[in-house]
Amino acid sequence: MTTAREDPTGRGAEQDRAAGPTAVRRSGPVLLAEVAAHAGVSLATASRVLSGSRSVGEPHRGRVLAAAQELRYTPNAQAQAVARGASNVVGLIIHDVLDPYFSSIAGGVMRQVEERELVVFLASTHSDVDRELEFVQTMRSHRVRALIICGSRTTDRVHNERLAHELEGYAAAGGQAAVISQDRLGTHAVVPQNRSGARALARELCRLGHRRFAVLAGPRGLLTSRDRLMGFREGLTAEGVDVADLQVLHGEFTREGGESLAAELIAAGPLPTCVFAINDVMALGALAAFRSAGVRVPEDVSLAGFDDIAPLRDVVPSLTSVHLPLEEMGARAAQLALDTEPQTTSQAVKVHAEVVLRDSTRRLA
């Protein structure tokens, strides 16, 4: 009784009387076994030639290479991963590719990944915590060798615990993870200095003569938003501004969020002299709202954002913001996850946030 093992090509040994080149083509990808058969060597030898794991003598080596070429053989990466017990894929979880904040970070990650000849699994959560969790699972399932999660963390305790639990499982299985924005998940972390950046921004704005501020903040539970707001308050206090009458409006962390909050602000009555949108995307929305309401920036109101995203370059008036090296942050996170030895304790890299004053914030007379 012939077992399939003895017929490496996967074709029937019996039916295939003329086992030569005219053999019936199986459908689907070409197998290593077919290459080996074509070259007249064993499976092991073919494997060794193609993956270069051991030297193979010249008569054989050339034949295998030729056969692979001729048959257009492409190794099955999944099978290789299973056999080797190690994959060469990296997971990247972001909120949304369409948001410049995330695409910049993704760009930085991609560069690092490409340098190492790995591939990346991209998943976007659209700010849904359940999807986030689900994706971490998926990534674990695919045994990604490194996992990078970026996107503002929340104060949602239940979710954070679940996530930490999941990441622990991932780490236990030998995976490396890096989170951008928060370092309380037991993984490596790249942490932008949101609080001190916002503090510095408040100081600069006060020095321009502003005293009456409004903040367009993100959802209450968002850490990034909370930290920046906190820093901003501290900065104001330090400059002697009474924080009691600081207007704080909470809304979505998006362009639309910024737009509608600004509209609210306009409708609410006398504008403050300066508005701080907690991130640039919201600032752009606010700018649009101001423009369509006939409120001039910076003549009627000054406007500042945070992140210094790329599209800011083309906006008039140029927007004051707090610069974060987004691509570099992505790259850094990738490095942490990729270049650290598995058993090392997790590292946290702080990223400086630098105030950049531009035309959207004017000096008060």
Q: Are 100 and 311 in contact (CB under 8 A)?
A: yes
Question: At residue 80, what is the residue type?
Answer: Q
Residue 85 lies near DNA (rule: CB under 7 A): yes
Residue 87 lies near DNA (rule: CB under 7 A): no
Query: Which of 107/219 has CB closer to a copy of itself?
Result: 107
Distance between CA 183 and CA 203 in Å, rounded? Answer: 27
Binding DNA (rule: CB under 7 A), the pick from 17, 18, 25, 57 is: 57
Residue 174 lies near a copy of itself (rule: CB under 8 A): yes
Cis ω for the linkage preceding 317 (within 30 of 0): yes
Q: What is the DSSP string of 141-188?
A: HTT-SEEEEES--B--HHHHHHHHHHHHHHHHTT-EEEEES---SSSE
Give start and end residues of each alpha helix (H) in 178-242. 194-207, 223-238
Residue 143 lies near a copy of itself (rule: CB under 8 A): yes
Residue 20 lies near DNA (rule: CB under 7 A): no
| Part of the chain binding DNA (CB under 7 A), chosen from 14-22, 59-67, 177-185, 269-277 | 59-67
| Part of the chain binding a copy of itself (CB under 8 A), chosen from 50-58, 117-125, 208-216, 230-238 | 117-125
Which partner in a copy of itself, DNA, none is near 122 (CB below 5 to 8 A by kind)?
a copy of itself
User: Virtual CA dihedral for 83, 188, 306, 162, nearest 10 degrees?
Assistant: 80
- To DNA, the closest distance from the beta carbon of 260 in angstroms equals 47
Which partner in a copy of itself, DNA, none is near 1 (CB below 5 to 8 A by kind)?
DNA
Residue 29 lies near DNA (rule: CB under 7 A): yes
Phi, psi of 140 (to 5 degrees): -60, -45
Which partner in a copy of itself, DNA, none is near 94 (CB below 5 to 8 A by kind)?
none
Phi, psi of 342 (to 5 degrees): -40, -40
Phi, psi of 323 (to 5 degrees): -75, 130
Question: At residue 343, what is the residue type?
Answer: Q
Q: Is 252 helix (H, G, I), strand (E, B) or coil?
A: coil
Q: Kindly list the residues in this chain that would bind a copy of itself in the complex (CB under 8 A).
A: 27-30, 72, 74-79, 81-82, 85, 87, 89, 92, 96-98, 100, 103-104, 106-107, 110, 114, 119-124, 137-138, 140-143, 169, 172-174, 284, 287-288, 291, 310-311, 313-316, 327
Q: Kindly list the residues in this chain that would bind DNA in the complex (CB under 7 A).
A: 1, 3-6, 8, 10, 28-29, 31-33, 41-45, 47-48, 50-51, 53-57, 59-61, 73, 75-76, 79-80, 82-85
